[in-house]
Amino acid sequence: MTDDVDTQVSDRLVGRVLDGRYRVGARVAKGGMATVYQALDMRLDRTVALKVMHDGLGDDAQFARRFVAEARAAARLSHPNVVAVFDQGDDDGTLFLAMEYIPGRTLRDVIREQAPLPPARALGLLAPILSALSAAHDAGIVHRDIKPENVLIADNGVVKVADFGLARAVSATGNTATQGLLMGTVSYLAPELVTDGSADARSDVYSSGILLYEMLTGNKPHSGDTPIQVAYAHVHADVPAPSLEVPTIPPYVDALVQRATARDRDLRPADARVLSRQVHRVRSALEDGLPDDPELTGDLTVPIQQIRQDSGYDDGYTRDVPTLAGENGHVLRHDTIVVPVEKGRPTGGPATRVQAPPPRRGRGLVALVLILAAAIGIGTAAWYYGIHRYTSTPNLVSMVPAVAAAEAEKAGLRTTLANQDFSENVPKGQVVSTDPAAGDRIRKNGEIGLTVSKGPERYRVPQLAGLELEAAKNALAPIKLNAGQIVEQYNETVPAGRVIAFSPKFDTVVKPGDAVNFVVSKGKKPITVPDTTGKSYQDANRQLRKLGLQVGRTEQYDEKVPEGNVISQTPNTGTLFAKDKVQLVVSKGPPLQDVPDVKRKSLADAQKILTDAGFIVKVEKAPFNLGLNIVAAQNPGAGKKAQPGSTIVITVL
């Protein structure tokens, strides 16, 4: 694909929303199968890495089914050194994976900039890779495409392995869009992937060994003018000791590399966990500063030729592989890796006619016999190494293992229980898939790996109430549930940010990928404090309590505020929460004054004195009034306190 086309593809996807959820951002990287973009998951408001398969792959139904199956298998891997797969989707033929976004760089960048790496550093990088592969192998998953580009190193130093299962998804389809994709990764292919396409955990072990060799030396162990030459070098040539390029490498590191990269997979560590234990021993020796450890070196060294001879090892090829010239002049080999040929460019050189020397009688007849013999030999070799040694894998899906074994035996094949997997369609205990798949080529007397159904994958919703929202989301990840709609509400008892309620409810049985909706607390509802100054205490108290606030009361005299009305409040503005208190200061009216003594005063004088003091005067006559108009009594009495404006009653004679 040209740069112009790349730009068009980038422009077409950037800014687009896939599956109504993922807004595509900047392009991060481009590989043989897909382009990776930084994207925003608009549902969960988080950054993800979106791996978008190249155009054409989504049109192949077989690839699409395999892609979905492998994505689901990868999503089951929950490990700190595995790039998490969150989601997979198909947006109108555009297949994509939503994965954990890892800001950082790849192991390829480290090798390019820093190799050869010291053995301790190289093994330190390999250890987390093997940890990730160990988890995968324990789950019955083979990566198939371990290479520096698939190893990410985050900015915080954490090493993560990406793209579990994608190589298997691609290799399982016959779509021409996927032809030749092994060209980019051929430097790390195990021999068995070249010869018959079969892979198990030991294939990942081999690729890991090649990875270690490249970190230690800065170079790949095999080279060639074409990818096919490199592929067959894996089949026919042992990986050299890295100390041949870097003499300071200890013998036990050499032995580790050569043990992991043994061409006969039976001689390699059984899986990544076994190799990881060997790496641990080698790292310990390096930490101890040992230039050599004969015992460790001996434990790791494999007498390859002797064991092959004793076990009758046969890699299926002679040193001189039969070749046949194709129509375009390029070499075809049996069990070849398909390598794409650029259009308009012949693979072979121009045909050149060479004038033959004059024929000699006798020699011509001998030459003809030799040519015929060679042709027969090549044809026989082609038949033996091609058609004769292989058969087709029978369809064993939906059979119980015992019946599947019997059917395989009829075809001259064996079965093994390789894995268990969930299935929505195949009942529990029946075969859900095989490796190789039905119809795929397999060596006669070969072994078919059976994946047996565990029935539909179901989980129970855990108790999430009271958890922080992020903790609740994390609790969903191991059971493959997604966070759905998130609604926020005020709540007087649940702290802000914690889950008030969720649906489906606790202990409900759900499918992987189902959404759990959350109601999340915003904390207590804030109450805007009203201003009640000047209102009667009764009205102010009623208004504040209706809002859910408590009311406190104190009283004081005030010349301006009528008795019983609010003089001031604390607080007088802002916000409070339910059951918070507002303190009111209520007026008792003006301050009290002393009542003057008007007894024995004349009525006129008494009225004037009391009126001048601010009181109202009420006059009453004594029962035996003599008409003297002299004050005989007053109420309140002299010296008592009364509010200005209140009434003073005087009795006159």
Is residue 161 domain-shared with residue 260, that is, in the same domain? yes
**Which of 67, 101, 135 represents a domain boundary (last residue)?**
101
Please check whether residue 358 lies inside any domain of the structure. no
State the catalytic residue, choosing from 145, 271, 335, 435.
145
User: Domain containing 249 — which CATH number?
Assistant: 1.10.510.10
Please check whether residue 563 lies inside any domain of the structure. yes
Read off the pLDDT of residues 344-373 as tens digits, 9 standing for 90 and up: 333 333 333 333 334 444 444 544 444 445
Mean pLDDT of 434-439: 88
What is the percent of the chain where pLDDT is above 70? 79
Is residue 246 domain-shared with residue 161, that is, in the same domain? yes
Is residue 535 domain-shared with residue 510, that is, in the same domain? no
Please check whether residue 363 lies inside any domain of the structure. no
Residue 301 CB burial class (10 angstroms; 0-12, 13-18, ≥19): middle
pLDDT of residue 42 exceeding 80, the answer is yes
Residue 260's pLDDT is what? 97
Residue 388's pLDDT is what? 55
pLDDT of residue 440 exceeding 90, the answer is no
Label residue 118 by pLDDT band (50, 70, 90): very high
Question: Of the candidates 100, 93, 102, which has an alpha carbon nearest to the alpha carbon of residue 19?
Answer: 93
Is residue 332 domain-shared with residue 235, that is, in the same domain? yes
Is residue 182 domain-shared with residue 69, that is, in the same domain? no
Number of Cβ within a 10 Å radius of residue 52? 26
Entry pTM: 0.48
Is residue 221 domain-shared with residue 327, that is, in the same domain? yes
Is residue 232 domain-shared with residue 148, that is, in the same domain? yes
| CA 36/CA 370 separation, integer angstroms | 56
Is residue 543 domain-shared with residue 490, that is, in the same domain? no
Residue 447's alpha-carbon distances to 168, 409, 432, 584, 651, in angstroms, are 18, 10, 17, 88, 128
Overall residue count recorded for the chain in this entry:
653
Residue 600 CB burial class (10 angstroms; 0-12, 13-18, ≥19): exposed
User: Domain containing 488 — which CATH number?
Assistant: 3.30.10.20
Residue 299's pLDDT is what? 87
**Which of 535, 553, 587 represents a domain boundary (last residue)?**
587
Is residue 323 domain-shared with residue 403, that is, in the same domain? no
Please check whether residue 368 lies inside any domain of the structure. no
| Residue 567 main-chain phi, psi, to 5 deg | -80, -45
Read off the pLDDT of residues 568-606 as tens digits, 9 standing for 90 and up: 999 988 999 999 999 999 999 888 888 999 998 999 999
**Which of 53, 75, 101 represents a domain boundary (last residue)?**
101
Weakest-pLDDT range from 137-146, 405-414, 520-529: 137-146
Is residue 477 domain-shared with residue 562, that is, in the same domain? no
Question: Of the candidates 632, 602, 634, which has an alpha carbon nearest to the alpha carbon of residue 617?
Answer: 634
pLDDT of residue 114 exceeding 90, the answer is yes
Is residue 124 domain-shared with residue 187, that is, in the same domain? yes
Residue 486's pLDDT is what? 96
Residue 141's pLDDT is what? 87
Please check whether residue 567 lies inside any domain of the structure. yes
Residue 498's pLDDT is what? 95
Mean pLDDT of 82-106: 87
Is residue 476 domain-shared with residue 564, that is, in the same domain? no
User: Domain containing 18 — which CATH number?
Assistant: 3.30.200.20
180-189, 515-524, 616-625: range with highest mean pLDDT: 515-524
Is 580 one of the annotated active-site residues of the chain? no
Residue 224's pLDDT is what? 86
The total number of structural domains that make up the chain: 6
Please check whether residue 19 lies inside any domain of the structure. yes
Label residue 145 by pLDDT band (50, 70, 90): confident
Please check whether residue 382 lies inside any domain of the structure. no
pLDDT of residue 239 exceeding 70, the answer is yes
Return all residues near 224 (Cβ < 8 A) that are at least 6 apart.
230, 233
Weakest-pLDDT range from 194-208, 396-410, 438-452, 518-532: 438-452
Residue 70's pLDDT is what? 67
DSSP string, 397-439: TTS-HHHHHHHHHHTT-EEEEEEEE--SSSPTTSEEEEESPTT
Task: Quote the domain boundaries for residue 546.
Answer: 527-587
Read off the pLDDT of residues 173-198 as tens digits, 9 standing for 90 and up: 444 334 444 434 789 999 988 888 78
Weakest-pLDDT range from 52-56, 157-161, 641-645: 52-56
Please check whether residue 281 lies inside any domain of the structure. yes
| CA 370/CA 305 separation, integer angstroms | 33
